[in-house]
Amino acid sequence: MFRPSRSGMIDFFSQSMTGEFFFNVSWLKIRALLFPSRQNSFILYKNTVENLQHFPASADSGPLPGKGGTLPVPKHIHRQIVIAFSLILAVCIALTASFYIFSRNGAQVQHEEAAHSLEATAETARNIVNSHIQGNLQTLVTLSAFIGYDSDEGLPPQQLPHDPAFLAQLDVVNSQNEFLRMGVVDTTGQGSFVLLDGSSQLEQDLSQDSAVQRALAGEGNISFTFWDDTLGCYVNRYAVPIYQGGVDGPVIGVLTGTNNTDALRELLSPSLLLNGQVHAHIVNSEGKFVVRNQTYFISEDARSIFDTPAFSDELQQTILSAFAVNESAFFSLTNEGTLYEVALIPMDVNDWYVMCVVPQRILVTNLSQWFNLQRITFFVIFLLVILLTLYIYRMMRQNNRSMNQLTYFDSITGAYNRVRFLQEMPTKLTADPKALIVLDIDNAPTIKDLYGLERFNSLLRHIKEALDQQMGPTELFCMGRNERFLLLLDCAEPEQVRQRMSRFFSQIRQFRVSEHQNYQAVCSAGVRFVTNTTPDLERAITEAAMTAETTSGSRQDELIFFDPAIYEPVILRNQIEESMDAALLTGEFVMKLQPKIDLATGQPGGAEALVRWIRPDGLSFYPDQFIPVFEKNGFCVELDFYMVEQACRTLHRWMDEGRPVIPISVNQCRLMLYEAGYVQRLCGILNRWNIPPRLIVLEVTESLALESIDRVRAVLIGLRSQGFSISMDDFGSGYSSLNTLKDLPIDELKLDRVFLAARDETDEEKRDLVMKNVIHLAQELHITTVVEGVETIAQLDFICSMHCDLAQGYYFDRPISVEEFEAKYLPLPPSDLA
């Protein structure tokens, strides 16, 4: 895990204090804070701060001047502060004089104030209408409840619209509310109605009425505005379901109430909204009027708000887009030279919106006060800028001594930082070569992850103390970026460097990262020789750092000397790292399969999944090129999960096609076992493809098991509990331990190809004896044995005589594509081929 450089803000303050540069950055910061709308000032300040950590100190600046190594404030800073103050004053005066000229730019402020006021008015109108509609619906709901209970105890539901006694009661009820007409409809859509004048309408067919149908579906609602010939006016019909025996019973009919649309129109009367200046309407999501009042610019015969040229095509599309997601819309439009503010706010009923229109001039009443407040605010800011400038000047003088410590010393270790190292380095160089060394802690991410940042910082301080003890008077070191140390040693020959670094490494290893485990820091270093004629010391440091990056990261005390050819693997590594993420997304990583032959049957008893990287241009990165890079940068975790996914995808297809199904082995890198949620993520992949865990064999190397056997054992037990099979790969390739077979829960042991190599007859006898006993021991432990690297018939005969279970190697087949593997080893059943 990469930890950002600690030089960040420390380098900013420290390098800032080097004379005039600090003042300029501070002035940029003031401009950025006080005038955020001025993007040039803000961007200039931001870029300056970001580049500070790359700003090298002067190579010939030498020791710090002044008593005690502190930096006195240069006298010319006083002059620059006076100039800056004068500039601030001039700018403020110019801005004040220009304020009235550019006051018309307050149009945006006007629009925002108008929109806010109109929004509040529109919400008031919406709440009034919503309350009215909900009140009418609640009246019907209450009545429908009594009707439902009555029908449960007496008259059958289908008889309600035809019962004279019931209609007489309904007529009484109708006379006691504001509905012009009330009625009841049965489930077939047939209904009867009573009017305020005592007349009635019997056997009316409302089966096609949308409000009735929605009520029969259990939804209380109000209809769109329509003309009623009987009542002679525009009306809206309210409809609620009648439940037999209560809301838990079935819907047995619909209770309706019809009201004059003028009732809604009166609620939106201009006299009730903003002193009669706001005209309010109700429209639906298509812009059609449901309730229309008097309007400012919409003609009386318009059926939709879009039937007027004031609504452009672009504005119409914007409104409809807001309607599509049931959102409010606020906008301005101009009609005959007058600017109007318009608000459309969704109601709680149907897809209706309250629309309010008002001239903007009516809403904006306090702009002059706002401008006066802006002037006062401006002059207050002007005063604050002056005070801030004086405060910065005073702070520079008082804090100069403490800033010196931050400027040239690392805050964690107390060693020189990179800035001071670059200052001192030229004074140490001579015509004789000296060794410029970048010392790297290869397992730094692991230490921080497993033991914590504070323990890692203790390691850094230990290294600093070790270097302090062994540095000569003409030598130099510092704490660089990314937890690396930079060293300048009086060593002109590689052998001298090796001897000195050997002592350094020995002292570093004395630090115990953990009190309970013998876990040590793994260090490596890149060396580049320099003299006083080396043209670019920054480049020399970069070359030493790149040399350090070419170390394997797995060997203790690895020391690499700079060679121009060393850039080739670095370039290759950069190409790999730059394209690996895109390659994973675009499927450039291809799964190949190599069969594992069951020696008892001669048939494939499994297959090993091997990854190949084939780029779109047809070229390839070889596994020995990209696998080490991925293991170092951690990308191997995602690649291994990807390979498990590909194996599951293939197994799923085999099962769907009716092919024979054999287990597929997938390699697991060392970082996988430290991945949070590793087992859960594996199980998730198998569940997604519906693959039994027994068909996935997870291969771990013996070296991984030996690294942290307790951790590995716990993870492997968790995997086996989920049904996975565990294979130990490369057994015998390194320092093998038979205790591994005892301590780890494995199902398969893969013997490395080194067991098949023998230099002479004596070696063959020893090999036979070792293999025979290892295979016998594995079989006694119920562990399946696989021999890798079988390439000849003689080797095959030999491992057969050893009673090995499975064999794998080029004698049987190379790693081949999935399609070729299927055709060769897992053909479709004859019925499918037909």
What local confidence, expressed as pLDDT, does residue 696 receive? 96
Please check the confidence at residue 64 and state whether its pLDDT lies above 60: no
The radius of gyration of the chain's CA atoms, rounded to the nearest angstrom, is 42
Chain centroid to CA 636: 20
- The H or E element containing residue 685 is helix 678-689
Does the domain spanning 110-365 belong to CATH 3.30.450.20?
yes
* Residue 384 confidence (pLDDT) above 70: yes
Domain with CATH 3.30.70.270 in the chain: 413-562
Reported as a pLDDT band with limits 50, 70 and 90, residue 513 is confident
Q: Which residue has the tokens 């594996």?
A: 682
Q: Which residues contact 104 (CB under 8 A, 6 or more apart)?
A: none
For position 699, what pLDDT does the model report? 94
Residue 602 scores a pLDDT above 90: yes
Find tokens 């302090």 and name the residue.
Answer: 468
The confidence score (pLDDT) of residue 67 equals 31
Does 581 or 13 have the greater pLDDT score? 581
Residue type, 129: V
Give dist(CA 670, CA 712) in Å, integer: 9
Residue 574 clears pLDDT 80, i.e. is over it? yes
Q: State percent of the chain over pLDDT 90.
A: 38
Return the structure tokens found at 574. 């950069």
Comparing 553 with 311, the larger pLDDT belongs to 311
Q: What is the DSSP letter of 226?
A: E
Looking from the CA of 604 toward its CB, the CA atoms found within 13 Å total 23
Amino acid letter for position 81: I
The arrangement of secondary structure in 413-562, i.e. its CATH architecture, is: 2-Layer Sandwich (3.30)
In sequence order, what DSSP letters do the residues of 281-330 get, joined into one string?
Answer: EEE-TTSBEEE----SSS-TT-SBTTSSTTS-HHHHHHHHHHHHTT--EE
Report pLDDT digits (tens) over 386-424.
777 677 767 766 666 677 777 888 989 999 999 999 999
Q: Report which of 557, 443, 428 is spatially closest to residue 499, judged by C-alpha positions.
A: 557
pLDDT, position 36: 41
Helix or strand holding residue 706 (H, E): helix 702-707
pLDDT at residue 293, as a whole number? 82
Give the pLDDT confidence of 93-106 residue by residue, as tens digits.
776 666 656 555 66
What is the pLDDT, as a whole number, of residue 491? 94
Is residue 16 pLDDT above 60, yes or no?
A: no
pLDDT greater than 90 at residue 163: no
Average pLDDT in the 227-234 region? 89
Residue intervals in the chain for CATH 3.20.20.450:
574-751+784-793+809-828
Q: In which band, very low, low, confident or very high, does the pLDDT at 83 lie, cut at 50, 70 and 90?
A: confident
Instruction: Inform me whether the pLDDT recorded for 679 exceeds 90.
Output: yes
Q: What is the pLDDT of residue 150?
A: 65
* Residue 285 confidence (pLDDT) above 60: yes
**How many Cα atoms sit within 13 Å of 87 on the Cβ side?**
10
Mean pLDDT of 805-819: 95
pLDDT at 490: 95
CA–CA dist 400, 74 (Å, integer):
11
pLDDT mean across residues, the chain: 81
pLDDT value for 222: 92
Task: Calculate the alpha carbon distances from 426 to 15, 58, 431, 477 in Å.
Answer: 19, 10, 11, 13
- Residue 39 pLDDT class (50, 70, 90 cuts): very low
For range 668-675, the mean pLDDT = 85
Instruction: Tell me the per-residue pLDDT of 635-644, one tens digit each, with 9 for 90 and over.
Output: 999 999 999 9
Rank 55-59, 676-680, 815-819 by mean pLDDT and report only the highest.
815-819
CATH 1.10.443.10 holds for 574-751+784-793+809-828: no
- What per-residue confidence (pLDDT) applies to 69? 38
Q: What percent of the chain has pLDDT over 70?
A: 80
What pLDDT, on the 0 to 100 scale, is given for residue 400?
66
Highest mean pLDDT among 343-357, 556-570, 694-708, 744-758: 343-357
Of 155-164, 182-191, 631-640, the range with the lowest mean pLDDT is: 155-164
pLDDT band at 435 (very low <50, low <70, confident <90, very high): very high
Which pLDDT score, from 0 to 100, does residue 676 have?
Answer: 86
Q: Which has the closest alpha carbon to 815: 670, 693, 665?
A: 665
Residue 409's φ and ψ, nearest 5 degrees, are: -130, 145
Enumerate the CATH 3.30.450.20 domain ranges in the chain, comma separated: 110-365
Higher pLDDT, 309 or 239: 239
| Span 722-757, pLDDT tens digits | 999 999 988 877 666 777 788 889 999 999 888 887
Q: What is the pTM of this model?
A: 0.42
